[in-house]
Structure 1
Amino acid sequence: MEQVVATTRPLTGDEYLESLRDGRRVYFRGEWVKDVTTHPAFRNAARSVARLYDALHDSATRDVLVKTDRQGILTHKFFAPAYSPQDLKEAADAIALWQRMSFGWMGRTPEYKASFMATLGADPDYYAPFGDNARRWYRECASKVLFMNHVIVDPPIDRNRPPSEVRDVFMHVVKETDGGIIVSGAKQVATASALTHATFVGVNSGSAARLQEGRDEDVALVFFVRMDNPRQYLISRASYELRAESPFDNPLSSRFDENDAFLVLDNAFIPWEDVLVYRDVQKAKKFYADSGFFNRFNLQTTIRFAIKVEFMIGLLQKGLECNGTADFRGNQVLVGELIALRHLLWAVITAMVSDPEPSLGGSVVPRLEYAAAARVYTNFAWDRIREIFERILGGAPIINVSSYRDFQDPEVRPLLDRYLRGTGMSAEERSKLYKLIWDAVYSEFGGRHGLYELNYAGNHEQKYLDPLAWAQQRGLMGEWKALVDECLSQYDLEGWRDPHWVWEPTDAS
């Protein structure tokens, strides 16, 4: 296909920050935050994202990060549809470069939702009669490398009732107009939404499974909401960035806090050009799997988590060396366990990019079976990582100064230098290291990450039910049962049916 010269380019970091000053309604501590780029609850996280945009233009990193797609759009490599294993490999390298800039601690960076947005460019007409909408959104998103958030989970209210009976809470269409639709309802968890350009609203696999034709059309919706929509409200949780005293005391939470929000649309007007699925139960149920989003987002999350595991391995090893316990055999065994986990994750990533499956419009996506396996083991691994930290570092993370200010006190500093030092490490270095360990594992920021890793990809049962359903739908379960049937067919009460084996009956008496 002939390449078209790109006429657009991704945003720079400064342009990204300026784009957030659009009147969005972010609420925090009882106030409307008019500018998230300057508010102390959001400003450093915004700047962490801005660094990613600057990397798209940096001569040292841009060749790994950007490409010109088949439509002539210069974009991040994961924002473009992939048509070969090599395309997926290059996209994976681009994801990894961005993720290493936050050490794997920011999960919902712009390339996360590119997992879905790129599929709009592969086959926009899948969304007919809204194919032109998909086509236009892909071009805008790819050309600017827009930062999208998504909300696909219903609030935990009355989930025992059909969606049609919870219209006062669940996202639903209120009425239809010539220019668009009026929508009301709530969704969660709008991670990093305060720092994004638009909200993607859809239905996750668990909710979609409950939809029924003739009953749930009002909630069978997939659409976009731009952040300047005056009837979109983001009600944020507490900010760990705001509570961070200093980089020394809170090195992760002071800059990588992806503030989560409860999102409400209160009779919000959504133009027709921002709609992908409207009152179509079957398409709302199928798009999650058909679009390739599931396959692609698990590539992004597995790479992100693998890098985070690498960071945690290094952090654990340095903590053990500081304690003088790195050579203890039992400790080495558990560090080796995490190293094996790291290798396994990268092996799955290699399989996802090198052995893809066909998807919309001639594109390819990571094989569903590999994506489903990665989803399970990345989600449940964090509990084991934390358990290992707690087991072999013991109470060491508790023993630390209350603040960096303690080192600035001339009376206390000599005591710290003598009694708080580490093995081959000064007291200040030891304190700095264990502040990082505390922020990663034991702080409120670290606790939130534990919940995130366990739940971001769905509830704990759905993660196992989906691989089972897909194995049945794709005929894999039939193949595995056929293996057992083959074994059963090789013998009976009379002995072996195949003369290759020998059996002579014995006298039981």
Structure 2
Amino acid sequence: MITEQNTAKNRPFSKEYENKIFTGQEYLNSLDDGREIWFNGERITNIAEHKAFRNSARSIARFYDAMHDERYQDDLLLVDKNGIVTHKFFAPSYTPRELDEARKAIEVSQRINYGWMGRTPEYKAAFMAHLQDNAGFYQKEFQQNAINWYKKTAEKCLFLNHVLVDPPVDRSKDRVNVKNVFVSVDKEDDKGIYVSGAKMVATGSVLTHGTFVGLTGNITSMMEKDRDEDMAVIFFADMNTPGLKMICRPSYEHDANSAYDAPLSSRYDENDSVIIMDHAFIPWENVLVYRDIDRCKQFYKESGFFNRYNLQAAVRLAIKLEFCIGLFSEGTKASGTAQFRGVQAGTGELIGIKNTLWSLTTSMVNDVVSCGTGVVPNAEVAAALRLYMSNCWDRVREIFESVLGGAPVYTISSNKDLLNVELRPYIEQYYVGTGLEATDRIKLFKLIWDSMYSEFAGRHSLYERNYSGSQDLQRLDLLRQAMASKSLDKCTAMVQKCMDDYDINGWTNTWLT
């Protein structure tokens, strides 16, 4: 049992320690480092000013500026055991109370963008925070790498993405037979390793400082010794690594007509990329695991990442749900249906989903286990929360679609219709809402459209269902955990105890005979 009697090694934020975390402008400047990004057939330069990425970059910059704003610093920051000022989720937690404070810091950070950006900097901090305290998990020659990466990430609150999944091709084959596509080591020398291959899907990677290249449990379960060692690697790559290329999907921000027409997709589009490494050089100081299949298989269980990222994800989704509850409530008011019994039931169900998420995060910060010298949420609770999160968003969309009906499509083609003097009087007469002028009703429902029905919304739905692994894997992980912890045995033992009360001749227990 982990209690508050554990000696906490973090200290409250104090201005006596230098705050070296990026400011928003420093973050934007840091993206101009020569990285290779491809979009619409062109290699992109000056990312922070490009039409496809400008607004999303500035949305991330607000995360950094908040850590220099005195109104938020006590909630967001601490001083770690190295004397580094950092975000509370970028440092390990040593007690349930500290983990709860980290949860609060995630909440403050996520409210900046209303929960609509899933891979903000604190997401990958779920892994980075325990690199120093859990360095003993890694091969001896790479343990100092883990410590160094923790320190430099904590000091600046570096924004990292990760790529764990192989491209969707020939997955029925042994990975060694798809080495021409999947990431594999080409060679090594005294300076580092050279790797080639592709990984998917690097969410928000064009806006990050580096990528963590790893493997999912699904992949490692199929790896074999004396066959797959060239592919048993875990490492970091700076985004400007020579030979590392990012090929972007279409940009919703780029294609947005206006802020009025696309208020979310025009600023919160986390562009997903395929990362291709073409004989990319990875220095030894960026390597955590090399040609070690056993450690690759144990990574998810031992690194603390699985336990912690589900906490960040749940807080983010709960805030996103709060936003959507507000949208739903305003949408039904505008349609004049807010007092209908069935509509109110829909609002209540959305509130119930949101409250369930918050309650599960409370369980996560109190039901903890050790990770290195720190604590992380219990993996069984994290796995249960993961399953709930990946399925609840479909229900949220279903409620919107069922209750609001055709109201979201009762709209205009773009803000330019409102600027047309011939058309404007008709819009003002016929597009009004209950208690709303036409411009305000249209503005509200365009926001609803962008959150639930647009291409941006479709990508969000795909993300919520799949970012945490396949549906089968989520359920199988829960089963394996129950078998390992013997909780499944308790269930079957209870059934056996019940059946022991009787046989073909009647009751065998004493209290019914």
**Which band: TM-score by shorter chain?**
over 0.9
Further displaced range: 212-221 or 255-264: 212-221
Q: CA–CA distance in 2 between the matches of 1:281 and 1:475?
A: 27
2:296 is aligned with what amino acid? A
Please, which of 222, 235, 245 is the counterpart of residue 223 of structure 1? 235
8 A contact 1:80–1:121 mirrored in 2: no
C-alpha displacement of 1:214:
1.4
Which residue does the alignment assign to 2:70? 59
Further displaced range: 308-317 or 252-261: 308-317
TM-score of the two chains, using structure 2 as the length reference: 0.96
Please, which of 136, 145, 169 is the counterpart of residue 157 of structure 1? 169
Which residue does the alignment assign to 2:294? 282
The question of 1:472 aligning with 2:483 is answered: yes
Alignment length (residue pairs): 501
Which residue does the alignment assign to 2:345? 333
Q: CA–CA distance in 2 between the matches of 1:346 and 1:154?
A: 33
C-alpha displacement of 1:477:
1.2
The question of 1:320 aligning with 2:332 is answered: yes
SS of structure 1 residue aligned to 2:47: coil
Which residue does the alignment assign to 2:128? 117
Q: CA–CA distance in 1 between the matches of 2:176 and 2:336?
A: 61
SS of structure 1 residue aligned to 2:299: helix
After superposition, where does 1:318-397 map in structure 2 within 5 Å? 318-359=330-371, 361-397=372-408
Q: CA–CA distance in 2 between the matches of 1:61 and 1:6?
A: 17
Please, which of 281, 286, 301 is the counterpart of residue 269 of structure 1? 281
Q: CA–CA distance in 1 between the matches of 2:115 and 2:19?
A: 29
1:173 is aligned with what amino acid? V
C-alpha displacement of 1:6:
4.0
1:275 is aligned with what amino acid? V
C-alpha displacement of 1:362:
2.1
2:494 is aligned with what amino acid? L
| Cα RMSD for the two superposed structures | 1.2
The question of 1:141 aligning with 2:153 is answered: yes
Which residue does the alignment assign to 2:315? 303
1:64 is aligned with what amino acid? D
2:85 is aligned with what amino acid? L
Which residue does the alignment assign to 1:196? 208
SS of structure 2 residue aligned to 1:182: strand
2:137 is aligned with what amino acid? Y
2:469 is aligned with what amino acid? G
SS of structure 2 residue aligned to 1:340: helix
SS of structure 1 residue aligned to 2:237: strand
8 A contact 2:10–2:78 mirrored in 1: no
Q: CA–CA distance in 2 between the matches of 1:282 and 1:201?
A: 17
Which residue does the alignment assign to 1:38? 49
Structure 2, unpaired ranges of 5+? 1-6
SS of structure 2 residue aligned to 1:190: strand
Structure 1, unpaired ranges of 5+? 503-509
Cα deviations by residue, 1:112-171 (Å, 9 ceiling, x for unpaired): 000000110222121122100000000000010000000000000100001111100011
1:231 is aligned with what amino acid? G
Cα deviations by residue, 1:457-484 (Å, 9 ceiling, x for unpaired): 0011111111011111122111221212
8 A contact 2:387–2:474 mirrored in 1: yes
8 A contact 1:208–1:284 mirrored in 2: yes
C-alpha displacement of 1:18:
0.7
Q: CA–CA distance in 1 between the matches of 2:501 and 2:374?
A: 43
Q: CA–CA distance in 2 between the matches of 1:469 and 1:231?
A: 39
8 A contact 1:125–1:132 mirrored in 2: no
2:304 is aligned with what amino acid? G
Which residue does the alignment assign to 2:264? 252
Please, which of 115, 133, 150 is the counterpart of residue 104 of structure 1? 115
Q: CA–CA distance in 2 between the matches of 1:140 and 1:17?
A: 18
The question of 1:69 aligning with 2:84 is answered: no
C-alpha displacement of 1:92:
0.5
SS of structure 1 residue aligned to 2:211: strand
Which residue does the alignment assign to 2:445? 434
SS of structure 2 residue aligned to 1:364: strand
C-alpha displacement of 1:7:
4.7
The question of 1:460 aligning with 2:471 is answered: yes
Cα deviations by residue, 1:237-294 (Å, 9 ceiling, x for unpaired): 0000001111111100010000000000000010000000000001001111111100
2:275 is aligned with what amino acid? L
Which residue does the alignment assign to 2:499? 488
8 A contact 1:183–1:265 mirrored in 2: yes
Which residue does the alignment assign to 1:21? 32
Q: CA–CA distance in 1 between the matches of 2:478 and 2:81?
A: 33
SS of structure 2 residue aligned to 1:51: helix
The question of 1:167 aligning with 2:185 is answered: no
Q: CA–CA distance in 2 between the matches of 1:405 and 1:156?
A: 41
| Pair 1:467–1:35, CA change in 2 (3 A) | same
Which residue does the alignment assign to 1:211? 223
C-alpha displacement of 1:495:
3.0
Which residue does the alignment assign to 1:418? 429
C-alpha displacement of 1:3:
7.2
Q: Quick one: percent identity of the two aligned structures?
A: 50
8 A contact 2:137–2:302 mirrored in 1: no
